[in-house]
Every structure is written in structure tokens, then in C-alpha cells.
Amino acid sequence: MFLRGTVLFSFLLLLFTNSCHSQAQNFNNFSRKVRKGHTNNWAVLVDTSRFWFNYRHVANVLSIYRSVKRLGIPDSQIILMIADDMACNPRNPRPATVFNNANQHINVYGDDVEVDYRGYEVTVENFVRLLTGRLPPGTPRSKQLLTDEGSNVLVYLTGHGGDGFLKFQDSEEITSQEMADALEQMWQKRRYHETFFMIDTCQAASMYERFYSPNILAVGSSLVGEDSLSHHVDPAIGVYIIDRYTYYALEFLENVTPQSNNTMANFLKVCPPSVCISTVGVRSDLFRRDPEHVHITDFFGSVRPINLLPRVTNQKIVTRKSETTVPVTTKPNKYRYVPPLVNFDTIAQ
């Protein structure tokens, strides 16, 4: 009996070992396969602050929104979360507008802004649920992040923060660990190919220190212990209207076209300490590619799947590599031609 039990235990242990080995091998195969192709771009743009004196945070997020939309990412692939609607604030002397400079060069609110989460919908819970795909049944498509394993995702956050946290609505906060865990869930669920995490807040670098998921490039407007400063005041409204880091990021992006060869390495240098009055932090150890070889449009632009059809000429399909003659078949017409009715008045004459 003892021998039989020992044999059975050994057999079960062997099955368990083989199962674990098989699962590990499958996981390694998944890790190799899941990140093969980049097929689409998404952007999650979040302003976490309310109240009129935080006008600049709304201008920050709308500046990035303007840029990614101009470079080709459609509204259907942009999730815009704004905690307060400054364009409709009764203190705004220019209703339905949000400017990010005192000279009013660019109305970043525009004529076709699509806000997906507004006001008290901008919460930590909704933000984490959005990233991880754990939204309630019946959530409108416009409020879902429908990414997949081929998606490059730009995550931009702006608001008031501190060492290891970012405030939402001045009533709650998301911690750096919660942010890291949400991104890990995205990776495990194959919800991104690569992620560019960008945050403009005080002590911004603390928000990406705990990241541990692969294929994430992160940048913050200030290091731990530093404040992120505003750029300038608009006397007409009496408040700061944009933060320094986002101001210079937008200045850079305004000169980028969809066909641009600018790289992420260039973008990471847009705000040196001499103009930012803070030290921009970068974390690239989780990112598998060299930012010098990553086009900025890989995150801020659009990727559209295109099928190149062969050119048909003289019953020949001409390809780049060779010329192959194939018969060209024509489909029968679906409808036959019916002549117009006879004009009987003409016949009678």
C-alpha cells in the first residue's frame, strides 16, 4: 500500500511539474508573441483638478488633446477626462474658449472637443476601471478604452500631486503603486503594445518610480522634491493659464507633422531646467526600444491599417518583386439595362 501511494504521489508530482513547465513555456511564448506588431494608437488624457484657479490644468490637457487630434488620432480613440469645464465657467470673459497663452493665439478648446468624462465623473475609480477594462455593463463605447495587444497608448496626467500621489478633485488621490498595478493589469490583459506615460505635476517623477511592467516609457515634469511651475498669467482672467512643461511640449508638438522624423528622444528634451525651472525626469529602463529610434508619431500620431492592392494593367498583376500573369475575370452585371419608355405622344404625331 505504501509503495502504491508513493508511485501515485510521484506520478502526480510529475504531472504537476510538466504542467508548470508547460505553463511557463506558454507564458514565454506569449511574451514573445504578444508584442510583435504596433497597429493602432490611443490616448488617455486626464485633468484631475477643479476650480477656477486651476484653469491651467484644463489648458494643459486640452493642449495635448489638440496635438494628438491634429496628428491624426481620432476622437474615437481619445479618452478625454476633464474635472472642470473652464470654457463654461461664469468667470471666463471669453465663453466657450480656453487659451493657453495670454496672446490668445490658440483656442485649445476648439469647436469640436469631445469630453468623455467630465466633472465628478473624473474619479480614481473611473480612471483605474478605464485602464483595466473593468467598466460596468452598458458603458457607452465613447467611455471605453478598447485597446489590444497592438495598441500604443499615451497616458497624460495633470493636476496637483506630491511624493507618490496625484490628487483627484481635491478629495481623493491615486498613489504611485495603484498606478503601477493598473498598468500591470493592462499588460497581463494584453491591453497595450507600448505605453508612453507623461505627467505634469509637482514631484511628478515619483508617480512612475514603482512601475514594473514592460514596454513603458515615462516622463515627468519634475523630480521628487521639486515643484512644477506655471508659465504665465493672463491679465484678462487673473490666473495662470498653462504649466511650463506642457507649454514647451506643445511648442514642440506644434512643429510636428504626421510625416515627421522627430523622435521621442527629441521630445524628452523639450524643457531643459533653464526654462522649466524644474528637472524633467525620464524613465526608460522598462522600454525595449531606444527613444532615439522611436518616432514621436508612434504615440502622438495615428496608425491606420492599409492594404496595398496590386495594380491591374493589361490583364497582369504587377508587383514590386515580380510580374505575374493571371486571368482577369469579370463578374456578371447585377442589373440589366432597361431602355427608357417610348414617348407615345411623339408616335401619335
**Confidence at 339, pLDDT banded by 50, 70, 90:** low
Structure-block grid coordinates of residue 81: 477626462
**Confidence at 28, pLDDT banded by 50, 70, 90:** very low
Among candidate residues 38, 57, 88, 160, the one labeled active-site is 160
Cα–Cα dist 237/249, whole Å = 23
Lowest-confidence segment of 34-43, 65-74, 106-115, 249-258 by average pLDDT: 34-43
| Arithmetic mean of pLDDT, 300-316 | 61
**Confidence at 283, pLDDT banded by 50, 70, 90:** very high
**Confidence at 321, pLDDT banded by 50, 70, 90:** very low
DSSP code, position 122 = -
Residue predicted with more confidence, 195 or 104? 195
Q: For the chain, what percentages of helix, strand and coil (3-state, to nearest 5) are there?
A: 35, 20, 45
Structure-block grid coordinates of residue 142: 465613447
Structure-block grid coordinates of residue 184: 500591470
| Arithmetic mean of pLDDT, 176-205 | 96
- Find out whether 168 and 159 touch, Cβ atoms under 8 Å: yes
Structure-block grid coordinates of residue 250: 506643445
Q: Is 20 a catalytic residue?
A: no
Residue predicted with more confidence, 313 or 75? 75
b/e burial code for range 266-280 (CB count within 10 A of at least 16 → b): ebbebbeeeebbbbb
Among candidate residues 57, 193, 202, 231, the one labeled active-site is 202
Cα torsion for 79, 84, 86, 89, to the nearest 10°?
Answer: 140
User: For residue range 264-275, what is the model confidence (pLDDT) as tens digits?
Assistant: 999 999 999 999
Cα–Cα dist 79/45, whole Å = 6
Residue 323 has pLDDT above 70, yes or no: no
User: For residue range 196-240, what is the model confidence (pLDDT) as tens digits?
Assistant: 999 999 999 999 999 999 999 999 999 999 999 888 888 888 888
Residue 22 has pLDDT above 80, yes or no: no
Q: Cα dihedral sign for 167, 169, 171, 174?
A: negative
| Arithmetic mean of pLDDT, 134-156 | 94
User: For residue range 75-129, what is the model confidence (pLDDT) as tens digits?
Assistant: 999 999 999 888 888 888 888 888 877 777 788 887 788 999 999 999 999 999 9
pTM: 0.77
Q: Measure Cα distances from 271 to 90, 144, 202, 222, 277 in Å.
A: 33, 32, 15, 10, 9
DSSP code, position 262 = -
| Arithmetic mean of pLDDT, 39-64 | 92
Q: Give the Cβ contact number of residue 4 at 10 Å.
A: 8
For 148-217, give the DSSP string: -TTEEEEEEEES-EETTEEEETTTEEEEHHHHHHHHHHHHHTT--SEEEEEEESTTGGGGTTT--SSSEE
User: For residue range 3-12, what is the model confidence (pLDDT) as tens digits?
Assistant: 455 544 455 4
Give the bridge partners for 311, in sequence order.
318
| Residue with cell string 498598468 | 183
Residue 13 has pLDDT above 80, yes or no: no
Q: Is 38 a catalytic residue?
A: no
The residue length of the chain stands at 349
Q: How many helices (H) and strands (E) does the chain have?
A: 9, 15
